[in-house]
Chains A and B, each alone.
Chain A
């Protein structure tokens, strides 16, 4: 299906609040109605474990599950004819991770929609890895039924030219637990919207992120957690490093606690490590609380330079400076990486981080 041009949404200009950090001139036209977007299912499952089915469905039969205000997501919703649907059966205990791999090898702008449906009391880990170079927009909606437990890991291991704009939206029902890891180490421009809403009490979300930007990269993560029901919990912890004078990162942490969301427990954290003088990390935590009855709500954001005392300490034990830096950076990220509990993925990420470090002399 080619994209209808009859939509009445506004094309972002870059002056709007949600777009003010994004270099629209580098977004490959994903926001621009005059640029045609190709509708393509690009995720390839490797082994599909028992209890999981992956099908391609008609988009009309699988309409979006959530409200959306993002212009690129609107274009995706209007532009796709098919949806990749990942279904985790009720009560399924899927021990092996579900690996989905996407490799894009040409720069024709393309879009994709995915729905993940986790059945009641099901357990599963989903790993999506993105590599290659392309111009790509996607929406992934995850619907967690009551009592389910989903770990959702996305790896942005793109090449240096890739443009990736995406919304990952989780809808979390009563007593369901959602854990997400966003790892963004590649791409020219990456703009991800990890968003969460709750539909029942006892629901919980832990959102972890790791990004490493080097020269020429703009890596933007806009977390949005909407506490609209009582008794839900959220934890957000994103860590980033920037190496190179034109490295750029943006982290937005919107946590909204609505009047109905009594007993909410939330904490969000973003830490950035600047390895070069010219690198710039924007970090904007934003907590809005409309109820007086909360368990806890807090946020913290720090952006700092490399700690010379740590380097000196390691070097004073004979460790050469390059290796000392590598240890400190690995240490900085290990808090997040070690929670992945997937050895092969952990090693791959750490190796990539070593590589990113090696690209520019600090």
Chain B
């Protein structure tokens, strides 16, 4: 049983006009096995929250705390956070030219597990995970995200999640850009990891359709850099019908 606890988190970015506050006091607790959907208008700071938890150097934490099972996440380097059991499926996965997917996966898994995977079982493990996500095995020999379509990049993110077996995962618009079949396949992948690992999930999305596959326990409305309302799955349906107008003007 793991707990990611975010308390009073305030985050700024450096802009040409100086420092600009994006997150204005975020409070959120995610336990193993829970799915928290985060929905909010463009630019409200959802990705900023995700990146800040993962440790992207662009964001400055001005106050608040993030802990994973009591350990101070904000004190950890980016790689230490992954080793501690955090995973961020990015909204815009990065291309890394000249680095093959297979080399990348093996290096990452070796780092996170603390030992190189057994040669005999590793190839099979990757193959199986790829086939479960309907990824052509040829992707293993391609360079990381280079020339991948939007949907292929998202599948590749979930492939990494399956192999790295995190405790808490943040999925930043993993559903954007997926066709109907891919949405189902990727969702099934997420649910598999959730079942096997008792994964806790922060699911950032604009659409309720992914929530049909990955059932949220909680829905949070994110606006102006903070959570402005919380509820159950019914809140998502309400948002889809009414939009965010009442929260943005509030």
B213 contact set on A, CB distance < 8 A: none
A333 contact set on B, CB distance < 8 A: 98
Given contacts A313-B90, A316-B78, are A327 and B96 in contact (CB under 8 A)?
A: yes
A352 contact set on B, CB distance < 8 A: none
Mask for A294-310, Cβ within 8 A of B = 1, else 0?
A: 00000000000000111
Please state if B96 and A313 are interface contacts (CB–CB under 8 Å). Answer: yes
Please state if B97 and A335 are interface contacts (CB–CB under 8 Å). Answer: yes
Q: B71 contacts the other chain (Cβ, under 8 Å)? A: no
Q: How many residues of B contact A (CB 8 A)?
A: 29
Please state if A318 and B94 are interface contacts (CB–CB under 8 Å). Answer: no
Tell me the minimal C-beta distance from B108 to chain A in angstroms. Answer: 4
State the majority secondary structure of interface residues on A.
helix
Please state if A331 and B94 are interface contacts (CB–CB under 8 Å). Answer: no
Given contacts A310-B96, A321-B79, A330-B98, are A316 and B164 in contact (CB under 8 A)?
A: no
Bound-complex Cα distance A319 to B78 (A)? 9
Mask for A318-336, Cβ within 8 A of B = 1, else 0?
A: 1111011001101111110
Q: A128 contacts the other chain (Cβ, under 8 Å)? A: no
Given contacts A318-B112, A318-B164, A319-B79, are A312 and B107 in contact (CB under 8 A)?
A: no
Please state if B94 and A313 are interface contacts (CB–CB under 8 Å). Answer: yes
B93 contact set on A, CB distance < 8 A: 313
Q: Report the contact-size class of chain A (Cβ under 8 Å from the partner).
A: 20 to 34
A321 contact set on B, CB distance < 8 A: 77-79
B96 contact set on A, CB distance < 8 A: 310, 313-314, 327-328, 331
B81 contact set on A, CB distance < 8 A: 316
Smallest CB gap from A338: residue in B:
B98
Q: B208 contacts the other chain (Cβ, under 8 Å)? A: no
Per a CB cutoff under 8 Å, which of B56, B57, B97 touches A331? B97
Q: B99 contacts the other chain (Cβ, under 8 Å)? A: yes
Tell me the minimal C-beta distance from B200 to chain A in angstroms. Answer: 17
Bound-complex Cα distance A319 to B77 (A)? 11
Q: A315 contacts the other chain (Cβ, under 8 Å)? A: yes
Per a CB cutoff under 8 Å, which of A308, A310, A318, A330 touches B79? A318
Tell me the minimal C-beta distance from A250 to chain B in angstroms. Answer: 24
Mask for B104-133, Cβ within 8 A of A = 1, else 0?
A: 100110011000000000000000000000
Bound-complex Cα distance A6 to B19 (A)? 69
B interface residues, Cβ below 8 angstroms from A: 54-57, 77-79, 81-83, 88, 90, 93-99, 103-104, 107-108, 111-112, 143-144, 160, 164
Closest 9 CB pairs of A and B: A331-B98, A318-B82, A334-B98, A318-B112, A317-B108, A315-B78, A313-B94, A318-B111, A331-B99
- Known interface pairs A312-B56, A327-B107, A331-B96; 8 further A-B residue pairs with C-beta atoms within 8 A, sorted by A's residue number: A314-B107, A316-B54, A316-B55, A316-B81, A318-B83, A319-B79, A333-B98, A334-B99
Q: List 18 A-B contacts (CB under 8 A).
A: A312-B55, A312-B57, A315-B77, A316-B78, A316-B82, A317-B108, A318-B79, A318-B108, A319-B79, A319-B107, A319-B111, A323-B111, A327-B96, A327-B99, A331-B96, A331-B143, A334-B99, A335-B97
